[in-house]
Chain A
Amino acid sequence: SQQGEEDPQALSIQEGENATMNCSYKTSINNLQWYRQNSGRGLVHLILIRSNEREKHSGRLRVTLDTSKKSSSLLITASRAADTASYFCATALDTGRRALTFGSGTRLQVQP
């Protein structure tokens, strides 16, 4: 069963604004990853944060991880219309199993 939940399910913002998406999970993890998916297309890996890390940056992306609360957030700063997509968090369990468990996703719409 899907273990991750994301909120909001949908988010609509104006270009230039920041977008924050949250992800919660249920079991102990080895790492948590964020992916982007444009409509009907494959996944694009955005960023990975390990269980012993609390924050990570990559360009306009900032990811936080709180293992005590089993939650993560993805912040996209200065959003662009091209950021319009669905965003998924995915967790790798600490059991060593390498299959990923995906969150329910957030559909982000950036209005130009």
Chain B
Amino acid sequence: GAVVSQHPSRVICKSGTSVKIECRSLDFQATTMFWYRQFPKQSLMLMATSNEGSKATYEQGVEKDKFLINHASLTLSTLTVTSAHPEDSSFYICSAPLRGRVDTQYFGPGTRLTVL
């Protein structure tokens, strides 16, 4: 099946710094990618939809200036957590739907962010 990768898998940073997380579709093109956040022992919550060639669409309550999303190419979306705070510590997961298949999407392995 198709593969979605994320980098890094884990990152620890200090408060106030910015962290970039990459999501790549390795063997297919993705005009759309989704970013989810998962707090410990909780479910996944959709943060935003990343659109290649246009602005990302953010879910209600998600600060677009804090979580910058750039869909630079048909295989890469990046999420930058700016001025990170400890409350941003979470598991961030991306997914990419397969073009032409409404019910198929692939999830990345996730990135564990810890902000000290």
Query: Could you list which residues of chain A lie within 8 angstroms of chain B, going by C-beta atoms?
Result: 2, 4, 30-31, 33, 35, 40-43, 45, 48, 50, 88, 90, 92, 96, 98-105, 107
Contact = CB atoms under 8 A, between A and B. Distances in A.
Given A42-B109, A101-B46, A92 B103 contact: yes
Interface of B: 32, 34, 36, 41-46, 49, 91, 93, 95, 97, 102-103, 105, 107-110, 112
A100 B102 CA distance: 11
Main SS class of interface, A:
strand
Q: In the complex, which of the residues A4, A48, A50, A98 has the most CB atoms of chain B within 10 Å of its own CB atom? A: A98
A108 B34 CA distance: 27
6 contacts: A33-B103, A35-B107, A42-B93, A92-B102, A98-B34, A99-B46
Given A42-B109, A43-B93, A99-B34, A105 B103 contact: no
Contacts of B103: 30-31, 33, 48, 50, 92
A102 B43 contact: yes
B69 to A, nearest CB: 14
Contact of A2 (B32, B41, B45, B97): B45
A104 B49 CA distance: 21
B102 A88 contact: no
B43 A40 contact: no
A10 B20 CA distance: 34
Contacts of B108: 42
B97 to A, nearest CB: 5
A41 B112 CA distance: 9
A41 B110 contact: yes
A103 B44 CA distance: 8
Given A30-B102, A42-B93, A92-B103, A100 B46 contact: yes
